[in-house]
Amino acid sequence: MIPSRWLPEGLRPPLLRLAGIPVGAGTRIEHSVFFKGGRVRIGEGCYLNSATIVDPGSASVEIGDGVAIGAGAVIAAATHDLGPSANRAAANRSEPVVIGTGAWLGARVVVLPGVTIGRGAVIGAGAVVTRDCAPDASYAGVPARLLRELDQGSGGA
């Protein structure tokens, strides 16, 4: 399901709700955001920038309140097991993804299956998140690594 650029922004969340995806009040969803499947829950006051892909597979994706997701991010709860050389992308496998309240994912961040991103975490642009991220911490890189812990207050370190 792709909320079209021609569809007014205010209509995108209600239409997603009609399609079975709970979207909290005050959440903004830009055009060209793709939801592959319905096991997604989006909290209140979130922002999903354009070209974001959310793929829960047969698991789920939970996006907490106040989460900001940059353009082109990929949140993938679905993957494949590694198979023999004749078929490396073997059986499908899904593990839930959780993005904690207040987290901020930069542009083109990739979140892989089974990952929990803690409350208030910041993930730098282009990072590939392969493991859980602690609350109120900053991560970047491929794979994403802890850069520093963040102040739990408003901004600053």
Q: Can you tell me the distance from the alpha carbon of 51 to that of 153, in angstroms, rounded to the nearest whole number?
A: 31
Backbone angles phi, psi at 17, to 5 degrees: -60, -45
Q: What is the distance, to the nearest Å, from the Cα of residue 75 to the centroid of all Cα atoms in its chain?
A: 4
Q: Can you tell me the distance from the alpha carbon of 70 to that of 107, in angstroms, rounded to the nearest whole number?
A: 4
Find out whether 44 and 25 touch, Cβ atoms under 8 Å: yes
Q: Can you tell me the distance from the alpha carbon of 31 to that of 49, in angstroms, rounded to the nearest whole number?
A: 8
Edge-to-edge strands of the sheet including 34-35?
A: 34-35, 53-55, 74-76, 110-111, 128-129
Q: Can you tell me the distance from the alpha carbon of 142 to that of 35, in angstroms, rounded to the nearest whole number?
A: 24
Please give the structure tokens belonging to residue 146.
Answer: 């802890």
The yes-or-no answer on residue 80 being catalytic is yes
Tell me which of 7, 11, 26, 80 is the catalytic residue. Answer: 80
Active-site positions? Answer: 80
